Amino acid sequence: MTTAFEDILQAGWKLPRAVWDNLSEYERSFAHIELSDRRTRGYYRSRLRQIGFINLDCVLDAGCGIGQWSIALGDLNAHVLAVDLNPTRVNLARGLASGENQTNITFGIAPIERLPFRTNTFDAVFCYGVFMFSNIPVTLAEFYRVLKPGGLLYVNANSLGWYLHLIVDRGMLCGNWRLVRTAVLMIGRRLFGRTKLVVVSERWLRKLLDQAGYTLLDTGAEGEVVLPGSRTIAVASAYSRSFYGFRAIVEGLARKHVQ
């Protein structure tokens, strides 16, 4: 049986051993999920090609986490700026980028609701896996501000099926009642009209993007969205599409209006 670190290396990632050794068990588990099995550098590049995040001058990875998407964005575009609130994951992202000899990515620490960039800076903004934890209307307005006219926006968020999975499979069946409570609160906050730390449905996502002034291009389950007019074939997500009959993750692709 291989170790988690060996699984990452077998998937083709060049994560320095010194970086791995400095991670907590929790962060090692998270990195193992995101950097092993199907989640190769090529997988992330394929996902980006289908939403049109290629051949751009400057792209923002908002909420970059451990940097796997940042590296794929760097493979396909000239410059990438990547920010996250978690210093541990930003340090891991820097180490991963260094191991991969990726030199066109700049990492920083910043909230996605208050980005330290000028208006009309980016050709595209990519936001994976953190959108639902932020103040969503504020975040969408901030993305709109930093995007150039005509710039692309990709966001995704956990939907009802994912939280049912957390409640039942990872919570009750494992005796993790803290996780059950967290997931129930995420569902409840949405029911009470909150816009932060909430479950996101596809219908609501479409409404949010429209209200924020974007031209909506497509929404769907993660891995389904393709840039209109693209000849790229959709790449199936490495995550489950649904749990208990409900969509697990939703994604949206939009464009800032050309002024």
pLDDT of 130-156, one tens digit each?
999 999 999 999 999 999 999 999 999
Q: Is residue 167 part of a domain?
A: no
**Mean pLDDT, residues 213-235:** 91
| pLDDT band, residue 235 (cuts 50/70/90) | confident
Percent of the chain clearing pLDDT 70 (strictly above): 100
> Assign residue 160 a region: left if phi > 0, alpha if psi is -120 to 50, beta otherwise?
alpha
| pLDDT band, residue 258 (cuts 50/70/90) | confident
Domain residue limits at 58: 4-159+200-256
**CATH number (domain holding residue 105):** 3.40.50.150
Percent of the chain clearing pLDDT 90 (strictly above): 94
Instruction: Kindly report the average pLDDT of the chain as a whole number.
Output: 96
Distances (CA, A) of 176 to 27, 129, 239: 19, 22, 22
Q: Is residue 164 part of a domain?
A: no
Q: Is residue 191 part of a domain?
A: no
**pLDDT (tens digit per residue) in 153-174:** 999 999 999 999 999 999 999 9
Q: Is residue 192 part of a domain?
A: no
Total of domains in the chain:
1
The H-or-E segment that residue 252 falls in is strand 249-256
Q: Which among 249, 92, 243 is positioned nearest to 173, based on CA atoms?
A: 243
- pLDDT(259) > 80: no
DSSP string for residues in 103-157: -SEEEEE--TTS-SS-TT-EEEEEE-S-GGGS-HHHHHHHHHHHEEEEEEEEEEE
**pLDDT (tens digit per residue) in 69-89:** 999 999 999 999 999 999 999
Q: Is residue 213 part of a domain?
A: yes
pLDDT given at position 232: 81
Q: Is residue 188 part of a domain?
A: no
Q: Is residue 178 part of a domain?
A: no
